[in-house]
Amino acid sequence: MFQPYEEILKRKPDFRVTYQFYSPEEGGRLHLPIQGLRFNFWYESELHTEPSIFMIWPEFEDRNQKVILEGEVYKEGIARMWIINPITIAYHKERLQVGSQGYFMEGRRRVAECDVIELIGLKE
């Protein structure tokens, strides 16, 4: 069973997104992932200083805004986002905002698109 990142990292998530996984025909995954799959994240910003993806992991919510603890996640829904390297929090705080568009990444491949809907830890 999945252990929520809040228990592991001892803090609140950094932000929340709506997401939608691409279909296989759109270049997406053949199967929906299970909770705990560690996608990296990329988002659009003119202020990026490096052309890399970021260790920002999703934690998928159910329809009642609770963390999904086991099984597949939804094709579309809401995810809490966790910046894993604390050194980069200041970098993202300057760039991410409500309305920013991003992607879940498997290597260099985009598998889902996202929109930032709420800043949590990044607003502190």
- Residue-wise pLDDT for 69-122, tens only, equals 998 999 999 999 999 999 999 999 999 999 999 999 998 899 999 999 999 999
Query: Are 14 and 86 spatial neighbours (Cβ–Cβ below 8 Å)?
Result: no
Q: What is the pLDDT of residue 51?
A: 67
- From residue 106, how far is each of 9, 23, 67, 95, 119 by CA, in Å? 23, 14, 22, 22, 24
Question: Is the per-residue pLDDT at 48 higher than 70?
Answer: yes
Joined together, the tokens standing for residue 18 give 């709506």
- For each of the domains in the chain, give its residue range(s) and CATH number, in order of start: 5-123 (2.40.30.10)
Pairing state between β 109-119 and 15-21: antiparallel
pLDDT band per the 50, 70, 90 thresholds, residue 45: confident
Confidence grade of residue 50 (pLDDT, cut at 50, 70, 90) = low
